[in-house]
């Protein structure tokens, strides 16, 4: 299920349509009290009707949740962040981001994807097939206008991470990882100061020392991702092991043996854990616990397609972390 119409009319802040399912949050509140405030857990969007009884107190359709569910979502004691994945498909206007920021507590943070207009080398036809070259690819001026400036002006202190997620880039780019890293470095250096910028690639060929250097000198951070196209988390961790301490950004997307469409069909309506992945959870726990032990800020964004239900994935992760973190 895709996130719906996050860019329509501004939400009605006073709307009673969506209320939080606070009666089911006792364990989450206890866990939240034991975990450092530097840890921010969140899901990829909030507009999932299957979360009745987990986050929302009664049935709502996806459109109602998209427009009115954020305030209820942000009251959950463990969920102090959320990913705006749909921003990848259409830039989010400043006013829309400001409306979101007005609905959340002071310590809530957003992870916002930059649009594909600046991270995809292709304009894509239906089904994702490359149709023609994208003239806006790695254009810092376009990225500033469509992503960085709205992020800064719309979210203010609620701006957590501006994510540059690069899709599979094609053989012409992956055949020359150094050239990509150099282009990325020049792009990063021309972005405005302020946002915490993270970079996630979907081609393992690009996870090189040159990429690590481009991020380090360009002022950006790696976004670790559990995704079938990428090497295991341990190998990603090794690639960026020598970078200075900074925020840890991790996205728990998919199992190694499942594609996006397959997981979506298998796991809908995302109301329970259908394929628990204890090995991935243990890897995430170790990485997060180590970062928290270094007093680093940590973002973990979970997708429903990882295990079947992102809020329950994060609840299980919180249990695991609570046993390791002072």
Higher pLDDT, 164 or 129: 164
User: What tens digit of pLDDT does each residue of 90-107 get?
Assistant: 999 999 999 999 999 999
pLDDT for res 14: 47
pLDDT for res 15: 52
pLDDT for res 74: 98
The whole-angstrom distance between residue 46's C-alpha and the CA centroid of its chain comes to 12
pLDDT for res 1: 37
* Cβ contact 263:254 at 8 Å: yes
pLDDT for res 3: 41
| pLDDT above 90 (res 299) | yes
| pLDDT above 90 (res 254) | yes
User: What tens digit of pLDDT does each residue of 21-78 get?
Assistant: 999 999 999 999 999 999 999 999 999 999 999 999 988 889 999 999 999 999 999 9
pLDDT for res 11: 52
Residue 8: count other Cβ atoms within 10 Å of its Cβ. 11
Q: Regarding beta strands 197-200 and 221-226, do their DSSP bridges make them parallel or antiparallel, or are they unpaired?
A: parallel
| pLDDT above 90 (res 17) | no
**pLDDT class for 320, splitting at 50, 70, 90?**
very high
Residue 249's H or E segment, with its range, is strand 248-252
| pLDDT above 80 (res 5) | no
pLDDT for res 25: 98
**pLDDT class for 323, splitting at 50, 70, 90?**
very high
Q: Which of 85, 7, 4 is nearest to 43 (CA)?
A: 85
Q: Regarding beta strands 130-133 and 109-113, do their DSSP bridges make them parallel or antiparallel, or are they unpaired?
A: unpaired
Tell me the average pLDDT of the chain.
94
pLDDT for res 9: 40
Question: Taking the domains of the chain in order of start, what are their residue ranges?
Answer: 22-322
| pLDDT above 60 (res 226) | yes
Average pLDDT over residues 145-168: 98
Average pLDDT over residues 187-197: 97
pLDDT for res 125: 87
Is 22-322 in CATH node 3.20.20.410? yes
pLDDT for res 8: 40
Q: How far apart are CA 164 and CA 177, in angstroms?
A: 17
Average pLDDT over residues 129-152: 96
Average pLDDT over residues 110-116: 99
| pLDDT above 90 (res 2) | no
Q: Regarding beta strands 130-133 and 298-302, do their DSSP bridges make them parallel or antiparallel, or are they unpaired?
A: unpaired
- 146: phi then psi, degrees, rounded to nearest 5: -90, -20
């Amino acid at each position: 299920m895709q996130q719906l119409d996050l860019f329509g009319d501004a939400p009605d802040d006073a709307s009673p349509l969506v209320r939080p399912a606070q009666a089911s949050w006792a364990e989450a509140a206890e866990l939240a009290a034991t975990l450092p405030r530097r840890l921010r857990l969140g899901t990829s969007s909030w507009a999932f009707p299957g979360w009745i009884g987990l986050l929302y107190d009664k049935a709502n359709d996806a459109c109602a949740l998209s427009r009115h569910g954020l305030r209820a979502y942000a009251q959950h004691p463990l969920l102090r962040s959320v990913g705006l994945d749909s921003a990848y498909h259409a830039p989010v206007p400043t006013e829309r981001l400001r409306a979101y920021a007005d609905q959340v507590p002071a310590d809530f943070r957003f992870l916002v994807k930059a649009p594909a207009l600046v991270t995809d080398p292709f304009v894509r036809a239906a089904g994702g097939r490359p149709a023609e070259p994208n003239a806006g690819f790695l254009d810092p001026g376009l990225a500033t206008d469509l992503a960085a400036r709205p992020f800064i002006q719309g979210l203010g202190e609620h701006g957590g991470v501006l994510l540059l997620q690069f899709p599979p880039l094609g053989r012409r780019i992956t055949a020359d990882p150094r050239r990509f890293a150099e282009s990325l470095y020049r792009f990063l250096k021309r972005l405005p100061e302020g946002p915490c910028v993270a970079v996630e690639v979907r081609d393992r060929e690009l996870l090189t020392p040159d990429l690590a250097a481009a991020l380090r000198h360009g002022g950006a951070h790696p976004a670790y991702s559990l995704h079938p196209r990428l090497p295991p988390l341990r190998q990603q961790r090794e690639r960026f092991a020598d970078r200075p301490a900074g925020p840890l950004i991790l996205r728990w997307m998919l199992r190694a043996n499942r594609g996006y469409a397959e997981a979506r069909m298998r796991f809908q309506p995302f109301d329970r854990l259908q394929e628990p992945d204890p090995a991935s959870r243990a890897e995430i726990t170790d990485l997060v616990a180590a970062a928290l032990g270094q007093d680093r800020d940590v973002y973990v964004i979970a997708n429903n397609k990882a295990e079947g239900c992102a809020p329950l994935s994060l609840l299980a992760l919180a249990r695991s972390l609570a046993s390791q973190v002072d």
